[in-house]
Amino acid sequence: MRHCLIGAFATSAAVVFAAGTVTAQDTVNVGFILPMTGPVASVGKQVSAGAQLYVQQHGNSVAGKNIELLIRDDSGVPDVAKRIAQEFLVNDKVAILGGGLTPSALAMAPLATEAKVPEVVVISGTSIVTERSPYIVRVSFTLGQSSGILGDWAAKNGSKRTVVIQSDWAPGAEAAAVFSDHFKKGGGEILDVVKVPLANPDFAPFLQRARDLNPDTLFVFVPASQAGTFAKQFVERGLDKSGIKLIGPGDITDDNDLPYMGDQMIGTITALNYSASHNSAMNKAYVAAFKKANDGLRPNFISLGGYDGMHLIYEALKKTNGSTNGANLIEAMKGLAWESPRGPMSIDPETRDVVQNIYLRKVEKIEGELYNNEFATFEAVKDPLKEAKRVAN
């Protein structure tokens, strides 16, 4: 009896204590670091719109906690991302970090490790990012996932001599390397790899160099936000009329820019994890809700990082019953699988990297608008660079 009374007292004391600190204990701050200004501002805007749509649709209460989504701008500069991550951890006591372009995701990694706070990567497509901290989980994509599939496809579908044009930074290097490896294994020849500076790109001289080599195919990686500029210069140099096939990861026909690119892009073949025209009831509802919330803006593969990133966070919190212990959250995220507007996806429990369908798509005009129309599906694709390392070990 005595024990029971003490037990009851202890419980009610704990409840009073919890009620006294309701804000600190019941709010989970999630801090996203995104390029909201600068040369790739459209990337930050798409992620932010995706994340906010998820919260709007699912409410901001999960497992008894209020979710506070904080979004800050690093302009895509890694040192700024690092500073904001520090402020998020120290001042805002965020339980989860989110972001970022590859350089920013890498800059945040040591802080996530030190603070034992999960870093949900919603943009970066570079393989090594997830290896930089045991607290990193990725929901975006890797460039290898799409580029390997495209390399195999090109070799089997008439391409023999390809020039690669890559944006000169880590995701570009990865797209070029994985594509070239697969294309050469399929019997193709890489005539040259041409590197275009990431900042303020002028593609004209690089397109001219590529054309002079007389390839039958041009494989191009430019990041989301540069697709429109690339397409304009491609047409200005007359490459659309040259008979050279244009292919690449779907970043070059990004749904954010595609509606404004012009009919010259019709026929372009790309590989990616998402198309706004993906044929599922869930995607149709997602696209309609996204457009409604964002003045008619079409969602792209980047905004889905924000949307699915929030889904991962919500589901992990449900599994931990609201505990924000970083190690527990990471354990809860490993192996999570769900249906996304992109199709089925999961988190590889071994690598914490995303496993998802990759689609081959062709630009077509559907009801008067340009879309990436999916014509082949590769199911449950893992990051090929990690798979290669696993097999080698």
Binding site for ligand PHB (CB under 6 A): 43, 101-102, 123-126, 171, 223-224, 251
Of 74 and 315, CB closest to ligand PHB: 74
How many helical (H) and strand (E) elements, i.e. helices and strands, does the chain have? Answer: 13, 15
CB 165 within 8 A of CB 197: no
**C-alpha span between 281 and 77 (Å, rounded):** 38
CB of 249 to ligand PHB, least distance (A): 8
CB of 353 to ligand PHB, least distance (A): 13
Of 223 and 326, CB closest to ligand PHB: 223
CB of 383 to ligand PHB, least distance (A): 13
Of 119 and 315, CB closest to ligand PHB: 119
Q: Tell me the residue type at 335.
A: G
For residue 366, what are the CA distances in angstroms to 104, 267, 277?
37, 13, 9
Measured from the Cβ of residue 378, the count of other Cβ atoms closer than 10 Å reads 17
CB of 216 to ligand PHB, least distance (A): 25
Of 48 and 324, CB closest to ligand PHB: 48
Virtual CA dihedral for 62, 68, 74, 75, nearest 10 degrees?
A: 90
**C-alpha span between 337 and 350 (Å, rounded):** 14
Of 106 and 154, CB closest to ligand PHB: 106
Q: How many alpha carbons fall within 13 Å on the CB side of residue 311?
A: 23
> What would the two tokens of residue 67 be?
């979710």
CB of 41 to ligand PHB, least distance (A): 12
Query: Judging by beta carbons within 10 Å of its beta carbon (0-12, 13-18, 19+), is residue 70 exposed, middle or buried?
Result: middle
Nearest in space to 249 (alpha carbons), one of 303, 195, 173, 157:
173
Of 52 and 256, CB closest to ligand PHB: 256
**C-alpha span between 317 and 384 (Å, rounded):** 30
> What would the two tokens of residue 253 be?
């026909």
Q: Are strands 161-167 and 269-272 parallel, antiparallel or unpaired?
A: unpaired
CB of 340 to ligand PHB, least distance (A): 18
Of 223 and 343, CB closest to ligand PHB: 223
For residue 13, what are the CA distances in angstroms to 18, 22, 50, 335, 362?
9, 14, 41, 38, 64
Of 222 and 316, CB closest to ligand PHB: 222
CB of 121 to ligand PHB, least distance (A): 9
Of 198 and 207, CB closest to ligand PHB: 198
Q: What is the CA angle 211-271-362, rounded to 5?
A: 75
CB of 102 to ligand PHB, least distance (A): 4
CB 231 within 8 A of CB 241: no
CB of 156 to ligand PHB, least distance (A): 25
Q: Which phi and psi angles does 159 have, rounded to 5°?
A: -80, 130
Of 123 and 355, CB closest to ligand PHB: 123
With residues binned 3-state (H G I as helix, E B as strand, rest as coil), the percentages for the chain, rounded to 5, are 45, 25, 30
CB of 137 to ligand PHB, least distance (A): 15
